[in-house]
C-alpha cells in the first residue's frame, strides 16, 4: 500500500473540536456515566461510545431509549454540572494540536472550528483551553439547521473563511464528522480517538492517520513539494 498523500495544497484547514483538539470525549463520557450511576443506572460503555460525534438531539434520543425521558433529563442535568467543572479547569489538549496550529500560523493558512457542540459551550471550552484566539472562525451546531453528518457546519466554516469547500482540509476524529466533511466536498483526514474506524468507515476512502503530528508531517510534505497546487 502506498503512503498517504494530499492531492492538493489546502487554502484553509477546518478542525473538529471534541476528540480532535480537546481530550473531551473521555471527560464527557465519564460525567455522563457518573450521573447515570448516581441515578442507579449502570449503562454499558457501548451506549456512551455510540454518542461520540453526534448532535445533542441524537444523544438525547439514545438516552431516552435506555432510561426513559424523565431519567434522561435528570442524568443530563447532573452531567452538565459535572462537566462544567471540567471545562472551567480547561479540558486537556489532544497531542499535536499546538504544533499543528503553530505550523499553520507560520504559513498564514486560515483555519476554523466546525463542531457539533452548541456555541456557548464551544466558546467556553476553547477559551478555557487557550485555543479560541488561534482560529479565524468558530462554527457550531447553534449556527446551522442540520448537524453533522449533514455538511452544514463545514460549509458555513468555508464561507466564514472565504474559501471554496474543495480547497479545505478537514481534521476529524469521528465517522460522523468524516461523513459531514465528505458531504461538503472537502478532504477529511481522520485521526481516531475513542472510535476506531470499521470497514464501513474505511470504505469511504478518506485518509486515516494515527495522530495530529502525522497529519502535520503530511501537510508539510505537500506544501514543500507543491505549495500552490
- Render pLDDT for 155-213 as a digit per residue (tens, 0 to 9): 999 999 999 999 999 999 999 999 999 999 999 999 999 888 999 999 999 999 999 99
Q: What is the pTM of this model?
A: 0.87
Distance CA 86, CA 120 (A): 15
| C-alpha gyration radius of the chain | 18
Res 178: pLDDT: 96
For 126-167, the pLDDT digits (tens) are 999 999 999 999 999 999 999 999 999 999 999 999 999 999
Res 55: pLDDT: 73
The DSSP 8-state label assigned to residue 93 in this structure reads B
**Whether 116 contacts 58, CB under 8 Å:** no
The grid cell for 19 is 476528540
Distances (CA, A) of 135 to 49, 110, 153, 166, 220: 28, 8, 15, 20, 20
Count of residues making up the chain: 229
Res 165: pLDDT: 98
- Strand bridging mode 111-114 / 12-15: parallel
The DSSP 8-state label assigned to residue 96 in this structure reads T
For 59-111, the pLDDT digits (tens) are 899 999 999 999 999 999 999 999 999 988 889 999 999 999 999 999 999 99
Amino acid at each position: 500500500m502506498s503512503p498517504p498523500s494530499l492531492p492538493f495544497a489546502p487554502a484553509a484547514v477546518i478542525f473538529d473540536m471534541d476528540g480532535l483538539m480537546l481530550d473531551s470525549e473521555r471527560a464527557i463520557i465519564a460525567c455522563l456515566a457518573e450521573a447515570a450511576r448516581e441515578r442507579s443506572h449502570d449503562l454499558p460503555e457501548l451506549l456512551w461510545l455510540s454518542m461520540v460525534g453526534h448532535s445533542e438531539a441524537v444523544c438525547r434520543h439514545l438516552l431516552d431509549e435506555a432510561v426513559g425521558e424523565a431519567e434522561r433529563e435528570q442524568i443530563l442535568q447532573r452531567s452538565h454540572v459535572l462537566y462544567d467543572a471540567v471545562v472551567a479547569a480547561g479540558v486537556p489538549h489532544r497531542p499535536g494540536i499546538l504544533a499543528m496550529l503553530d505550523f499553520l500560523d507560520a504559513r498564514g493558512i486560515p483555519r476554523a472550528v466546525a463542531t457539533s457542540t452548541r456555541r456557548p459551550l464551544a466558546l467556553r471550552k476553547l477559551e478555557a483551553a487557550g485555543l479560541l484566539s488561534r482560529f479565524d472562525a468558530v462554527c457550531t451546531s447553534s449556527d446551522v439547521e442540520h448537524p453533522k453528518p449533514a455538511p452544514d457546519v463545514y460549509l458555513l466554516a468555508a464561507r466564514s473563511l472565504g474559501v471554496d469547500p474543495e480547497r479545505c482540509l478537514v481534521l476529524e476524529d469521528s465517522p460522523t464528522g468524516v461523513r459531514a466533511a465528505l458531504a461538503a466536498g472537502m478532504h477529511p483526514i481522520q485521526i481516531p480517538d475513542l472510535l476506531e474506524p470499521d470497514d464501513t468507515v474505511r470504505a469511504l476512502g478518506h485518509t486515516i492517520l494515527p495522530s495530529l503530528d502525522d497529519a502535520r508531517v503530511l501537510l508539510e510534505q505537500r506544501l514543500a513539494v507543491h505549495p500552490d497546487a
